[in-house]
Amino acid sequence: MAIRTLYDKLWDAHVVREEEDGTALLYIDRHLVHEVTSPQAFEGLRLAGRGLWRSDSILAVPDHNVPTTKQHRGNGTAKIDDPVAKIQIETLNQNCEDFEIEEFLMDDIRQGIVHVIGPEQGATLPGMTVVCGDSHTSTHGAFGALAHGIGTSEVEHVMATQCLIQKKMKNMLVSVDGKVGAGITAKDIVLAIIGKIGTAGGTGYAIEFAGEAIADLSMEGRMTVCNMAIEAGARAGMIAVDQTTIDYIKDRPFAPTGEYWDKAVEAWADLVSDEGANFDQVIHLDASQIEPQVTWGTSPEMVLPITSVVPNPDDETDAVKRNSIQAALDYMGLQAGEPIDAIEVDKIFIGSCTNSRIEDIREAAVVVKGHTVADNVKLAMVVPGSGLVKQQAEKEGLDQIFIEAGFEWREPGCSMCLAMNADRLQSGERCASTSNRNFEGRQGQGGRTHLVSPAMAAAAAIKGHFTDIRAFS
Amino acid sequence: MEKFTVHKGLVVPLDRANVDTDAIIPKQYLKSVKKSGFGPTLFDDWRYKKAGEPGMDHSLRDINPDFVLNQAQYQGASILIARENFGCGSSREHAVWALTDYGIKTVIAPSYADIFFNNSFKNGLLPVILSEAVVDKLFSEIDNGYELIIDLEQQKVITPTGEAFSFEVDSFRKHCLLNGLDDIGLTLQYADDIRAYEEKCKQETPWLMA
Ligand code: SF4
């Protein structure tokens, strides 16, 4: 067999047929569905009188629009205020019932953000193709899977045919060599990568993340890294399978058992890039040089170490870049030369499919313990990624640590990551957020988002401004 | 998707160039969870006196009597004729859904915006391109009860007097329309390949098929 990359292997294993021009029918093993991008797909099926090709490949959950406050949860959708959100969630429920799809309803302890629950349930497995009508599907690549977001007509296409019409992407290797320093997390690694290659750096590529610093990460850290591959322009990010992967999956509800488990583990050993495999592009980062990262602008590539100052547009020679820096500073209400650790924040959001898993919450809790939220912070909230994450955190008493410090402890969902529900920034408010997008208006019209790790967000909550987690006490 | 072979229908003239997709279906209707039901709000801003909102009973709204779609002689039209660059602007597929939901089967124009043109074929709507001179001629002929025959097989538009105008159409797209194949329909032609692939998986990676 030829020498292949991990992506080559995943691709080859799923091609049903390929046309001469390289257009292929790619078989899809796992289809995750949520309330926002699925309704038209279901309706398309109905209009055409079509059914699902394989309903057992689909797992559905409402997440984007669900309220995260206790008084709006419980008793199904009855307590949702927003009529549009309510209709979308009820439409999903009805569709799942009509088409006999397994759905974790809002009241189910397993409900949560689609990219959190897939892996948590073992519904995402190595060697799979995973799709979802959501760009952060790249998250699931952490398991040595080929995972990417798709549009609504593609959602319908996968439902009806179990296939996607695709052309192969190019291969990129991003190697993070050596070990990271104390206090440096997966979020800092991926932000540093995006800072280096830019938000379009991965366009047209499938990125494999590798190197000692990546191998050292837990599965949760690896998911954080792959989650943001799309912010580097790559539809898919992935990491080779190793013992960490296998240990994580074992005994999860949807994972194979018995004889199948043994066979699967044997097969998964091959889900690595072969020695000497060819990548179209290779990027190296020195892990030891990575510092805690904070975005200062309106694109994830506008990111700097906490020890830096806000950039000066006048230092940029390229006119287009100069203008975009200026526009970002204007929107963000920042001055060139201002130290990043002097920037004060109004709100803190710890959550989203990037950073809402149990380790993220533990990481933040360690920082928060014994402190109180600064007076200038109007709202600090923790939104666990799933009901099970929430339950685990409560078992460990983490909720109490946050509540005592002045945080709000919420119900699971996407929440202020995209502000589709009531959780949002008011115009001009500044937020330290563990989510993945800092675009204009992403967290509410006029809202200003700074992307950081959970530890950095927690430290900002206590200090009232960004602060170097390595010096935090 | 429904097959498109020969269609005979009443023609409604929309004498405008650069009809954009926001005019075809305004943005407030994109919140819908549906792919159908856009017909009553097709050309909403032109068709009604006041801007509409999703969820309204559109039959109760004040209509603009000057707009062609509201004129008695064009009720039931299934062929829309317009000027150049039809369907420009945002990529929303809702524009095509609105036209088809209203009952339009064919649009005739001298040219189209790309994305709209592509979206049309995906949804069984045939966008016919005729030269400006021919489009002019058709506009001038339209009177009460003016019907055209659109023969996709022969690639001809035939007027009531029997005059025929040829049009071009990509052979692959023609094949899809004639046979009622959308992307999904096309993929389903390979259903046997997909099943064969699944059989192989059941042997090699049974835990993925369980
Ligand atoms: S948490 Fe944010 S990025 Fe993730 S799926 Fe929800 S809205 Fe999308």
Contact A43 B193 (CB under 8 A): no
CA-based nearest residue to B82, from B49, B121, B46: B46
Tens-place pLDDT, residues A391-440: 999 999 999 999 999 999 999 999 999 887 778 999 999 999 999 999 98
Tens-place pLDDT, residues A64-80: 999 999 999 999 999 99
Tens-place pLDDT, residues A256-309: 999 999 999 999 999 999 999 999 999 999 999 999 999 999 999 999 999 999
User: Of B184, B193, B198, which is closest to A50 when you measure between CB atoms?
Assistant: B184
For the four alpha carbons of A32, A33, A36 and A39, in that order, the dihedral sign comes to positive
Looking up tokens 């990491």 gives A239
pTM: predicted TM-score of the whole model, two decimal places: 0.89
Q: What is the pLDDT of residue A311?
A: 97
Summary mean pLDDT of chain A: 96
| Mean local confidence (pLDDT), A206-226 | 98
Where residue B100 falls (left for φ over 0; alpha for ψ -120 to 50; beta otherwise) is: alpha
Cβ pair A207, A237 in contact under 8 A: yes
| Euclidean distance between CA atoms B194 and A17, whole angstroms | 9
Q: What backbone torsions phi and psi does residue A245 show, to the nearest 5 degrees? A: -60, -50
Q: What is the pLDDT of residue B57?
A: 94
Q: Which residues have a Cβ under 8 Å from the Cβ of A367 and sit 6 or more positions away?
A: A455, A458, A459, A462, A469, A472
In degrees, rounded to 5, the angle at the alpha carbon of residue B169 between the alpha carbons of residues B163 and B175 is 115
Helices (H), A105-185: 114-121, 152-161
Q: What is the pLDDT of residue A460?
A: 98
| Euclidean distance between CA atoms B75 and B79, whole angstroms | 11
Listed as ranges, residues in chain B with pLDDT below 50 are none
Kindly report the nearest CA distance between residue B4 and chain A, in angstroms: 15
Q: What is the pLDDT of residue B22?
A: 86
| Mean local confidence (pLDDT), A47-52 | 93
For ligand 1, pick from A61, A352, A360, A386 the residue to mutate: most ligand atoms within 8 Å of CB. Answer: A352
Q: What is the pLDDT of residue A20?
A: 86
CA-based nearest residue to A291, from A142, A455, A430: A455
CA-based nearest residue to B79, from B132, B23, B161, B152: B152
Tens-place pLDDT, residues B133-172: 999 999 999 998 999 999 999 999 999 999 999 999 998 8
Q: Which positions in chain A touch B191 (Cβ < 8 Å)?
A: 161
- Atom of ligand 1 lying closest to residue A351 CA: 1
CA-based nearest residue to B195, from A10, A27, A330: A27
* Binding-site residues on chain B for chain A (CB distance < 8 A): 1, 31, 33-36, 93, 122, 182-184, 187-188, 190-191, 193-194, 197-198, 201, 205-208, 210
By residue count, chain A amounts to 473
Tens-place pLDDT, residues A124-160: 999 999 999 998 999 999 999 999 998 888 899 999 9
| Mean local confidence (pLDDT), A53-66 | 96
| Mean local confidence (pLDDT), A11-26 | 93
Please list every protein residue whose CB sits less than 6 Å from any atom of ligand 1: A 63-64, 113-115, 134, 136, 352-353, 414, 417-418, 435-436
Tens-place pLDDT, residues A311-327: 999 999 988 889 999 99
Nearest protein Cα to ligand 1, atom 1: A352
| CA A238, chain centre distance (Å) | 13
Q: What is the DSSP string of A327-368?
A: HHHHHHT--TT-BGGG-B-SEEEE-TTTS-SHHHHHHHHHHH
| Euclidean distance between CA atoms A155 and A149, whole angstroms | 9
Tokens found for residue A319 = 């006119």
DSSP A269: T
pLDDT category at A1 given cuts 50, 70, 90 is low
Kindly report the nearest CA distance between residue A367 and chain B, in angstroms: 41
Kindly report the nearest CA distance between residue B57 and chain A, in angstroms: 17
